[in-house]
Structure 1
Amino acid sequence: MGMSVTISAAAAQDAEHILKLQYLCYQSEAELYGDYGIEPLTQSLDDLRAEIAQGHALVARLGDEVVASVRGRVDEGGTARIAKLIVHPRMQRHGLGGRLLDAIEEHFAGEPAAKRFQLFTGHRSESNLRLYRSRGYVPVSSEQVGPRLALVTLEKEAAARACVASA
């Protein structure tokens, strides 16, 4: 293969690439739930840029190509809200999603305000749920947001990351 995937902070010029990748990656979720109006498929470039500016975003690159991304922010209560973990379909099942999740947790663990990590996914998104559980996340709530979609919120304490890393 020759090239390795690198993870770094997203730059302003990455926003368009992230949005295109997001659109590609959320097609399977839209199909699974029968809803092509989900927010990741309708988000505008300006909204994405604002979201990145208000928090932190990472990208994974294979050469010059953005093949994965994740973003989040720490709220006033100390919760690092992690969102939109996306991996190009051809790059899935190689551990890249887990690497990105670890990297964004590490970033937010460095901020004194991050007391816990929280994310959400659809109730039928089994591969997402499996990944999050394997990283120590536990379901804390579920909210019905449409006739076919319930969002499952999962979280873990920030200190749990340090314990897992030292084990």
Structure 2
Amino acid sequence: MGQNVRVAQADVSDAEQILKLQYLCYQGEAALYNDYGIAPLVQSLASLVGEFDTHTVLVARLGDEVVGSVRGVVTDGVAHIGRLIVHPRLQGHGLGTRLLRAIEAQLGHADSFELFTGHRSEDNLRLYARLGYTEVRTERVGPRLSMVYLTKATSLAA
């Protein structure tokens, strides 16, 4: 199935599919922290559409269906990567890795990459560690949630 999935630059016309997939994918995170008000679950379509002006947005497609996405933006030499999502039925087949590597390639002109995830999100933490990210700090953002920030140098900085 993985060979039939293609990763490409998203178009603003993909925004509605991305937002629906984002909502589906972040249900598990919300349950893990017992917080259904997390940013990915309350983001509006207008807000996501606005990100197309400032961020690089990639999608993974299986036919016409958006089955994955990731976005990033470079500020002050740091490529901030976020909202890496893969449809639950396709998780565990390397699509998250493909998306993360694709966004790194797009933003590789930065000095470093940074991303974050919740402290209980063990699958995410394992994926990021496997792809060379190291933990740089943890920030408590609520009574049940701390965000773990991870970074890695780009090939330009290495």
The alignment's TM-score, normalised by the length of structure 2, stands at 0.96
Pair 37,160 (structure 1): closer, same or farther in 2 beyond 3 Å: same
Instruction: Name the CA distance, whole Å, in 1 between partners of 2:25 and 2:44.
Output: 16
Deviations 1:5-43 (A, max 9, x none): 000000010000000000000000000000000000000
8 Å CA contact 2:2–2:93 kept in 1: the answer is no
Instruction: Name the CA distance, whole Å, in 1 between partners of 2:132 and 2:13.
Output: 33
How many residue pairs are counted as aligned between the two chains? Answer: 158
Amino acid at match of 2:22: Q
Matched, 1:134 2:133: no
Percent pairwise identity: 59
1:51 positional shift? 1.5
Matched, 1:123 2:122: no
Deviations 1:50-86 (A, max 9, x none): 12221100000001100000001000x1000000000
Pair 147,79 (structure 1): closer, same or farther in 2 beyond 3 Å: same
Amino acid at match of 2:90: M
Instruction: Report the 3-state secondary structure (helix = DSSP H, G, I; strand = E; otherwise coil) of the residue aligned with 2:155.
Output: helix
Moved over 4 A (4+): none
Matches within 5 A, 1:16-165: 16-75=16-75, 77-109=76-108, 111=109, 114-159=110-155
Q: Answer 1 or 2: which has greater helix percent.
A: 1
8 Å CA contact 1:116–1:157 kept in 2: the answer is yes
**Unaligned regions of 5+ residues in structure 1, if any?**
none
The alignment's TM-score, normalised by the length of structure 1, stands at 0.91
8 Å CA contact 2:111–2:156 kept in 1: the answer is no
Instruction: Name the CA distance, whole Å, in 2 between partners of 1:2 and 1:33.
Output: 30
